[in-house]
Amino acid sequence: MLEGILLGLQTVLTINNLFLVFAGCATGTLIGMLPGLGPISAIALMIPVTYGFDPASGMILLAGVYYGAIFGGSTSSILINAPGVAGTVATAFDGYPLARSGHAGKALATAAYSSFAGGTLATLFLVLAAPILADLSLGFRSADYFILMLLGLSLVSAFSPPGEYLKALLMILLGLMLSTVGTDLSAGVQRFTFGRMDLIDGISFLLLAMATFALSEAMMMVLKQSKAQPLDLSSIDIRMTRDEIRSIIPVISRSSILGFLIGVLPGAGATIASFLAYGAERSLATREEKAMFGKGSLKGLAAPEAANNAACTGSFVPLLTLGIPGSGTTAVLLGALISYGIQPGPRLIVDEPEIFWSVIVSMYFGNVILLILNLPLIPYIARLLTIPRQFLIPMIMFFSLMGVYLVSFNTFDLQMMVVIAAIATMLRLLGFPMAPLLLGFILGGMLEDNLRRAVTLSDGELSFLWDRPTHAGTADLDHTRAPKPTCAFFLDQACQGTRELIRCA
């Protein structure tokens, strides 16, 4: 492990890569701060930039963009109550009241310290946990992967907010269906191409990510034109008293551990982690402190901030060790890895140790850079929030369209993006989550590959699904977990139906 860390240090501590960590954090913060744009859009917008780099540098940049975007999202949550990401919604609960009452600087500082502590602690856990898990998963076979991915996908719907189980499940299925477009790799048959050359390679994940996130998020901004809250940046004082710092230290450490553990779970990400941490701190607080929650409590701000950063880092564990993303954001990162020509999975730590370790080590530097760079500069960076929307939105659209065009040089892709963005916007308006779609799409190809390979290995028998002990366990989990969302949904519906019947009678 020490060797690995040294290797990572060696890769990261070059002028080039340090600059990329810095650039990633800075652009991530800028894009994440724009209300409505989250880390998925930020990463998708930056992927075309990384195509010229070697894979390790590309991943370092994208990881920087990821936690930069989370940090930027909390800034817009605090200052204008417009969370760019679901993961920072809980930040606005206490951050916005603090900013309203003239303590914007203190709120931003608390968010920065908590994010830093959460991210750094979680990086330490990552260093310890990732190699162990990678070691364990070296014994996995195609069949195990197939089951694991199935488990991951069903967990995504199981962890979605109540009443959205079926919607999340449907979006996963849609993603899986979209992933079958193009040439079938093992048989060479063309599927759903409608005889068009443009679809022979399938739909690129970058196109889908840009259309379903960056473009449709921009469309949502147009559709829901809310009056922007006035932004007062005159009195930003980031100093905190010693007592205040002392009071949030235990909160941060508890929330970081919680956040990391939740981040590791497939399907649960920064959003769930931040809400859980907020809830946990609320129930642990004394009565006087509890009254402050929601009205500008520093603890209520520190908890979700530490937790969502720790969860972001935690979500790298399944990505780097199993090659299975647990959230929409890590799915996009996985897509980037694949497009660099890297085979993600447990072999990553053996075959490409410099990628594995440099990403982890760069996270530590990234957190330091975010803290020392953003804390003093926040009042200036926040001026980005004052750019009028009418200028911002066409520019976002231009960057998304060009990001895709410059990879394929095919204007058919631009038309496809417009159509997908329109459909995605409608689905968003109807309350369908987009991240499961992306996850289903990216896992779809791998799911099929592994199933095919497993079936070939077992001579067409399907008994591998329950033969091997490792996945007998996971499959069991799968069986108990997967039907749950659907059952819960139908129960919900049944209850509602009964209630309505009673009312009618």
Contacts with other proteins by CB under 8 A lie at 52, 215, 219, 222-226, 388-391, 393-395, 397-398, 401-402, 405-406, 411, 414-415, 417-418, 421-422, 425, 429
Min dist. Cβ of residue 123 to other proteins (A): 32
Min dist. Cβ of residue 54 to other proteins (A): 16
Q: Give the residue from 229, 228, 239, 233 showing the smallest Cα distance to 381.
A: 233
> Toward other proteins, which CB reaches closer, 324 or 396?
396
Neighbours of 292 (CB within 10 A): 17
Min dist. Cβ of residue 224 to other proteins (A): 5
Min dist. Cβ of residue 232 to other proteins (A): 24
**Three-class DSSP category at 497:** helix
Identity of the amino acid at 411: T
> Toward other proteins, which CB reaches closer, 48 or 263?
48
What proportions of the chain, in percent to the nearest 5, are helix, strand and coil?
80, 0, 20
Min dist. Cβ of residue 398 to other proteins (A): 6
Min dist. Cβ of residue 187 to other proteins (A): 33
State both tokens at 355: 């990628």
> Toward other proteins, which CB reaches closer, 301 or 417?
417
Q: Is 409 left (phi over 0), alpha (psi -120 to 50) or beta?
A: left
Residue 201 · residue 465 · CB < 8 Å? no
> Toward other proteins, which CB reaches closer, 285 or 416?
416
Residue 305 · residue 111 · CB < 8 Å? yes
Q: Give the residue from 39, 19, 23 showing the smallest Cα distance to 31.
A: 39
Min dist. Cβ of residue 496 to other proteins (A): 21
Q: Give the residue from 323, 371, 318, 316 showing the smallest Cα distance to 111.
A: 371
> Toward other proteins, which CB reaches closer, 396 or 442?
396
> Toward other proteins, which CB reaches closer, 208 or 421?
421
* Whole-number Å distance between alpha carbons of 323 and 321: 6
Residue 42 · residue 69 · CB < 8 Å? yes
State both tokens at 111: 């968010």
3-state SS string for 333-350? HHHHHHHCCCCCCCCHHH
Min dist. Cβ of residue 420 to other proteins (A): 11
> Toward other proteins, which CB reaches closer, 398 or 466?
398
H/E element, 312: helix 298-314
> Toward other proteins, which CB reaches closer, 141 or 389?
389
> Which DSSP string do the residues of 363-424 spell out, in sequence order?
HHHHHHHHHHHHHHHHHHHGGGGGS-HHHHHHHHHHHHHHHHHHHH--HHHHHHHHHHHHHH
